[in-house]
Structure 1
Amino acid sequence: MGDATSLEQWQWQEWQGKSYLTCQLLDQWQHGFFTQSFAPQMPEKLALVFDPQASAHRVKQVHGNTVLSPANIQWEGQHFSQADGLISDNTKQALFVASADCTPALIGDIKTGQVAAVHSGWRGTAKRILPVAVKKFLDAGSELENLRVALGPAISGEVYQVSIDVALEMGLSLGFDDLKDEPEAMILALENIENSPLLFDAEPDKVRLDVRRVNQLQLEQLRLAPEQLAIAPHCTYKESKNFFSYRRSGEKKVQWSGIISH
C-alpha cells in the first residue's frame, strides 16, 4: 500500500529562478503548486510555465463546494463565476485555484486525461468538495481506480487552531450524523480515528485540525486506494520563505496551483 505522505512523491522544480512543487502521481500532466515567489502573477501568466498553447481558467472562490467546467465559467460583472473547483471539458485547459492556508487539490484521470483543480479549506471540506469533484469525474465516465489526487501545501494540523464547532462540522462531513447532538461523543469519535485529524490544544473549546487528513478520510470513504493519493509534506504556516499564510500574517496574499488537461 502507498504512503500518502511520502517525501519521495514530491519534487521541487525551477522556472526562471523561481521554485514550484510537483507530485510524482501527476507526472503525466503538466502541473505545479506554485510558491509565493511567483506572486503577483495570475494564472494567465503561470500557464506559460506549463504550455504556451494552453488556455487558463479560474473562478471566484467562495469556500463552497461548486465545481464548474470551463464552459460554465462566465464573467459576472467584476469577477468570474463563483465556485471552488474546476474540471476540464477539453484538452489543453490549464485549471487553477488559489490558496493561502486552505488545501489545493489537483486531480487527474490517467485514462481519459481529464483533470480538476479544487480549493478546499475547512468550509469546503465540511461541504465535501473533493467527493463532489470525484463524482464529476465518475459522471463523465471515469473509473475511480484511474483517478490520482495530490493535496498540496496547506496549513498543518499541528499549528491550525479551530473551535470545537469547526471540528463538529468535520465529524458531520465524515458521516457521524448520529452524533450531531452529542458534541462530546462526536469529538471522541474523531479522536478515535487512526491518525486522527484532531490534535490537542491547551485552550478551552479549541482543537488543532488537520484538514488534509479529513480530505483524505473522505476520499478513503469513496474507496480511493492509498496509492492514488499524495499529501504534500509542506505547511504554509511554517514555511514562510515559500508560502503565503493568512493565519500567519493576516495578509490576503495567495499562491496558485494548476494542472493542464490532455
Structure 2
Amino acid sequence: MHIWTWQEWQGLPYLTCSILSPWRHGFFSRHFGPGSPADLVEVLQPGAPAYRTRQVHGNEVLKTTQVAPLSSGAETPLAEADGLLSHKPLESVWVASADCVPVLIGDGVTGRVAAVHAGWRGTAAKILPEAIAQFKQQGSQIPDLRVAMGPAISGKVYQVSKDVAVQLAATLLLTDTATSLAEIWDPLYHLPNPPLLPDPEPDRARADVRRFNALQLERLGLGPDQVAVSSHCTYSQPELFFSYRRDRLKSVQWSGIVNSSPG
C-alpha cells in the first residue's frame, strides 16, 4: 500500500508519497504560492538546479539537456512542453497544476526522474506513455519505474463533454470493432474503478483523469505496486489547493522531484 504523508517546511504543508521514498520530492500545496521552482527546490535539495517548461497541454517530453535551468529572481526563457526528464544526479524537474494531474516518476536503478503535466488533453494525447518511452530510450526497464500522481480534480466532480470523454476513451479502446461513439466510451463505465462516470446531463460525463492515466500505464506493463494515486481533490479542498475550474484564476501549485545518485 502506498502512503501519502503531509510534510511541513517552515510551517507550510506539502505531500510526499512512499512510492517515491528514494527521491526527494514534493507535491506542494497552495500555501507555497507564489514561489517558483527556483525557490521551492530549497525545500527538497538546496542548491540543486531546477528545470521547468511552459506547459501547453500537449504530449511533448523534453530532457533537461534541452532546457535552461531556472535562476532565482531572473527571467528564464521557457521551452514549450508538458514533461521533463532529468539527465544528471541532483537535477530537479517541476510541473505546475491547478486541476490537471501532476505526475512524478523515478527509475530505481538509474535514479533518473521525470515530472509530467497530464491534463485531459495531454492524457488524450498519451503523454505518460510518451514519458515512459523516453525513460526506455535512456535505458530504463519497466519494472524499475515508480509513478506517483498527485492532487488533481477528482472524477466525481469533473464534468466533461461527450467529445472529451470520447477522446479520453479512445486511448483505452477496449474493442477493435466499435462502430459508434457510444461503443467507444460505454465499456469504460463498467470497468472496476471506472475512469468514466455518469452525469445527470445527457451530453456530459464525469472523467477521472488520474484513472485514465493509471490504465494507460497498466497497458504498458506497470503493476499496481508501481503506481500510486493521491485521493486529494483540488476542486473539493480549497483550503489546500488552487482549482481553475472552481476559482477561474490562473494560480497553480508546484510538484517537483530530484534525480538521485544511481545505484
Return the TM-score normalized by structure 2: 0.93
Please tell me the residue identity of whatever aligns with 2:53: V
- TM-aligned CA deviation for residue 255 of structure 1: 0.2
Do the aligned partners of 1:172 and 1:180 also contact (CA within 8 Å) in 2? no
Of 68, 72, 80 in structure 1, the residue corresponding to residue 66 of structure 2 is 72
Q: Determine the structure 1 residue equivalent to 2:203.
A: 205
Q: Which ranges in structure 1 are unaligned for 5 or more consecutive residues?
A: none
3-state DSSP of counterpart to 1:80 = coil
Cα 1:32–1:179 change in 2 (3 A) is farther
- TM-aligned CA deviation for residue 195 of structure 1: 1.6
- Number of residues paired by the alignment? 255
Deviates more, 1:64-73 or 1:147-156: 64-73
In 1, the alpha carbon distance for the partners of 2:177 and 2:37 equals 42
1:41 aligns with 2:41: no
Q: Determine the structure 1 residue equivalent to 2:87.
A: 89
Q: Determine the structure 2 residue equivalent to 1:54.
A: 48
Q: Determine the structure 1 residue equivalent to 2:4.
A: 10
Do the aligned partners of 1:108 and 1:147 also contact (CA within 8 Å) in 2? yes
Do the aligned partners of 2:173 and 2:184 also contact (CA within 8 Å) in 1? no
Q: Determine the structure 1 residue equivalent to 2:143.
A: 145
Q: Determine the structure 2 residue equivalent to 1:161.
A: 159
Runs of 4+ residues deviating >3 angstroms: 175-181
In 1, the alpha carbon distance for the partners of 2:184 and 2:45 equals 47
1:29 aligns with 2:23: yes
Could you report, residue by residue, the CA deviation over 1:102-150 in whole angstroms, capped at 9, with x for unpaired residues? 0000000011100000000000000000010011111111110010000
Q: Determine the structure 2 residue equivalent to 1:104.
A: 102
In 2, the alpha carbon distance for the partners of 1:129 and 1:63 equals 9
Alpha-carbon RMSD across the aligned residues, in angstroms, is: 1.6
In 2, the alpha carbon distance for the partners of 1:244 and 1:54 equals 26
Deviates more, 1:90-99 or 1:168-177: 168-177
Identity of aligned residues (%): 51
Please tell me the residue identity of whatever aligns with 1:28: P
Q: Determine the structure 1 residue equivalent to 2:14.
A: 20
3-state DSSP of counterpart to 2:135 = helix
Query: Which structure 2 residues correspond to residues 166-181 of structure 1 after superposition, within 5 A?
Result: 166-176=164-174, 178=176
Of 128, 131, 134 in structure 2, the residue corresponding to residue 130 of structure 1 is 128
Could you report, residue by residue, the CA deviation over 1:9-44 in whole angstroms, capped at 9, with x for unpaired residues? 100000011000000000011000000000000000
Q: Which ranges in structure 2 are unaligned for 5 or more consecutive residues?
A: 70-74
In 2, the alpha carbon distance for the partners of 1:74 and 1:33 equals 22
In 1, the alpha carbon distance for the partners of 2:38 and 2:200 equals 44
1:240 aligns with 2:227: no
Deviates more, 1:161-170 or 1:189-198: 189-198
Do the aligned partners of 2:51 and 2:68 also contact (CA within 8 Å) in 1? no
- TM-aligned CA deviation for residue 171 of structure 1: 1.4
- TM-aligned CA deviation for residue 70 of structure 1: 1.1
Q: Determine the structure 1 residue equivalent to 2:251.
A: 253
In 2, the alpha carbon distance for the partners of 1:89 and 1:241 equals 36
In 1, the alpha carbon distance for the partners of 2:151 and 2:94 equals 15
Please tell me the residue identity of whatever aligns with 2:124: A
